[in-house]
Amino acid sequence: MSDDDDRLRRLLGGDETAWLVERVHRRLEQGRPLSGTVTLTQASAAQRRAVELLLGRRAGSGGSVSVSLDDVDRMLRTSGVAPEGLREAVVRLRGPVRDLAVESATRAAAWQRAFAELDALVGRRPELSGWRSWLESTGLVRRLAPAAEDARPLLDRLTAVLDRLPSPGIPIGRLASETCGDAHALDEGRPLATLALSAARALGGRLYANDGGADARRAAWAAVGVHLDDLSSLVLCLGLPGDHHTPMGRVLKAAADAGEPCVLTLRQLRRHESPLTAGLVRVCENPVVVAAAADELGPSCPPLVCTGGRPSTAVWRLLDLLSSGGAAFTYHGDFDWGGVAIASAVYERFGFRPWRFDVSAYEAAPSSAPLTGRPCATPWDPELARAMARRAVRVEEELVIPDLLADLASAM
């Protein structure tokens, strides 16, 4: 150790001046200038004597002691103990100084790169923008993958999954295998599954955070066309004609003859390979319509299928079987932006005639409930979207059930 190092340690390297060195070190890390005064409240007698030795003068009286950083810097330079001043002295005592601003900028850039693919997708999918803000505000990604280098592959896989949603119908294991190269990547409890499920909830109009157990998880995935198994994806129908020679046909026939609603599983629908012949099929959004039709019309109810909100894989499969059998569709749903989005998905895939689901029906329906959400197009009646944006009220399907039942009765 040189004489200058020994002198420096005697002046600033002891326990009594450690507080001063720490304050200067913190300023250096933060990129702040080494000027002005620092104060130690409730200074001990030993700390006061150390400051007096450092500055070569009395440090005043009272419970606190103040030190001019400019004076210390000048003394270190002129004495030759640290020719480059206070910064040099602290580096010699404590080692290299971190640049926190640079480190912060580097971390921010790394996280920006980690989110780049996902943010590009969200830019193309504005319906995910609220969910993306929720991710940022909750810090969920950083809790699941604290380092940006770990988060980037996770978020890239998440982007690949979301790029396939909503799906017309796919098992979750196959979705995981095709997007991530790992059939178990979306298994419950995995970080990717946690993020993907929150996004599925966003796409399905649900709360982003986990809001229930296994049933809620199945419903959230089903709303975007992903099924966890062949028994959890369901569709509700009434009055669909069956047959005597297939298992599902016999189920449908028994339900239709009894005038009772029928719940079909995806397993049943996948095992039924022949088209279903039903003529004109009415499609509604809410199960309460099916229940009312069964109560009012019973076995006389014409074919009616319920999407139950956003169509599940089972709903799509049933509509596919009906379409391949030559069925035509007429559709009714909630007059809100969520209902319009569901109708648009059905219209894009099969087409339909509106069933009291056009601008005249909307304007005639009484309602004062505020319309919220993101507007979307109504390609079966472009004027409907403009009327909804202008009137800004929602009309739930339950409010017009008497009219829907009258239509079903007149078709008997």
Domain boundaries, the chain: 3-98, 107-227, 234-410
CA distance 178 to 193: 15
| Non-local CB neighbours of 279 within 8 Å, separated by 6+ positions | 303, 326, 327, 328
State mean pLDDT over 135-163: 93
The answer to whether domain 234-410 has CATH 3.40.50 is no
How many CB atoms lie under 10 A from the CB of residue 390?
A: 8
CA distance 41 to 95: 27
Going by pLDDT thresholds of 50, 70 and 90, the confidence category of residue 252 is very high
Q: Using a cut of 0.75, tell me whether the model's pTM lies above it.
A: no
Nearest to 196 by CA among 186, 205, 204, 206: 186
State mean pLDDT over 14-33: 88
Give 172 or 331, the one with higher predicted confidence: 331
The region of weakest confidence among 175-189, 250-264, 272-286 is: 175-189
| Non-local CB neighbours of 360 within 8 Å, separated by 6+ positions | none
CA distance 353 to 355: 6
> What Å distances lie between residue 349 and 12, 213, 247, 284, 335, CA to CA?
77, 31, 27, 16, 20
The region of weakest confidence among 63-72, 206-215, 250-259, 315-324 is: 206-215
How many CB atoms lie under 10 A from the CB of residue 220?
A: 25
User: Percent of the chain having pLDDT more than 70?
Assistant: 97
Residues in the chain: 412
DSSP label at residue 141: H
Going by pLDDT thresholds of 50, 70 and 90, the confidence category of residue 211 is low
CA distance 219 to 201: 9
pLDDT at 212: 66
Nearest to 333 by CA among 320, 347, 321: 347
Nearest to 108 by CA among 151, 172, 77, 65: 151
- Look up residue 100 and give its two tokens: 């926190």
- Look up residue 244 and give its two tokens: 């005597």
Going by pLDDT thresholds of 50, 70 and 90, the confidence category of residue 408 is very high
pLDDT(60) > 70 = no
**Where are any strands of DSSP class E within 116-259?**
170-171, 226-227, 234-238
pLDDT at 412: 64
CA distance 14 to 50: 9
Going by pLDDT thresholds of 50, 70 and 90, the confidence category of residue 103 is confident
